[in-house]
Amino acid sequence: MSFFVHLSQEEYLEFVCGCGAAIINVGITFPINKIIFRQMLHGVGLRNASSQLVNEGFSTLYRGIGPPLFQKTLSTSLMFGTYDAIQRPLLESNLNSRLAKIIAALVAGTAEAALTPFERVQTLLQDNNYNKHFINMRHAIKVIATDYSVSEFYRGLTPILLRNGPSNISFFLLRETANTCIVIPPTAWTGYKVFKEFLTGAFIGSLNSALFYPCNVLKVHMQSNLGGPFKSIKQATIEIYRLRGNRVSYFYRGVHMNYTRSFISWGVVNVAYENLKSFIKSN
């Protein structure tokens, strides 16, 4: 708690802008994310996953949006805010700038892992096998809290940790490089700036989504179980490999839709973040 008390106004701004960017992003990309989830869970093609949602109807299309809305809002806020708050004192202590950014990004990614319960509940709500078990997010949380231990909320934590830290390092370092190399003149049309911000976030986000996609497949597989023993990364990997015809390529089922979603999602996040920051600073 004392960490937040000592934040400067500039550092609070990072948290606020990250939060706003996430809300805009989730509202736009949730249906795409749900299709990808079904591909991850069942190892089916795009047409099959899309047909599942069409057959279930519009009333269930946004079923499960609560957890990702809360999780992504808090996660993106922590991502930008913690990164900035950790990086500043490290740079002021004359630590190597590249090392300071890596440490800050890693700490931010680890902090985001505290939000694993939201991803856990989201998995259960988006899995059609649990459509009749849970009414909504509140009901799912109540069932898990009442019938299972607290550790059940953190099922799948290991692949989340393996994903968060390294992907944050990649995002912030590549984003800084792109901002340094691609300079838009102050007199240029505003649209060029927005276009640059979108493409910067989009390309980095889609690259990270492809690189760390197997971590998400493992996470979804581990979290699709409710109760029973927890699976290790090794156990989950062997199980998926055998269930999907002993083909490594099946770990990437849904990756095309995922990097398409990430292209749009991180493009939106980067544009929203940069423009929210400029708007708040100018008012």
What is the spatial distance between Cα 272 and Cα 265, in angstroms, rounded to a whole number?
10
Tell me which residue has tokens 């047409």: 47
**How confident is the model over 227-275, as pLDDT tens digits?**
889 999 999 999 989 887 778 887 888 888 788 889 999 999 999 999 9
C-beta neighbour count of 4 within 10 angstroms: 11
**How confident is the model over 94-139, as pLDDT tens digits?**
899 999 999 999 999 999 999 999 889 888 888 888 888 888 888 9
Q: In a 3-state reduction of DSSP, which class is residue 26?
A: helix
**Which CATH code is given to the segment(s) 2-281?**
1.50.40.10
| H helix runs in 157-212, sequence order | 157-181, 190-211
Q: Does the pLDDT at position 85 exceed 70?
A: yes
Which pLDDT belongs to residue 7? Answer: 64
Residue 113 is given by DSSP the state G
Pair 14, 86: CB distance under 8 Å: no
Q: Does the pLDDT at position 35 exceed 70?
A: yes
**How confident is the model over 185-219, as pLDDT tens digits?**
777 777 888 999 999 999 999 999 999 999 999 99
Query: What are the extents of the domains in the chain?
Result: 2-281
What is the spatial distance between Cα 245 and Cα 108, in angstroms, rounded to a whole number?
37
pTM value is: 0.81
Greater confidence (163 vs 246) lies with 163
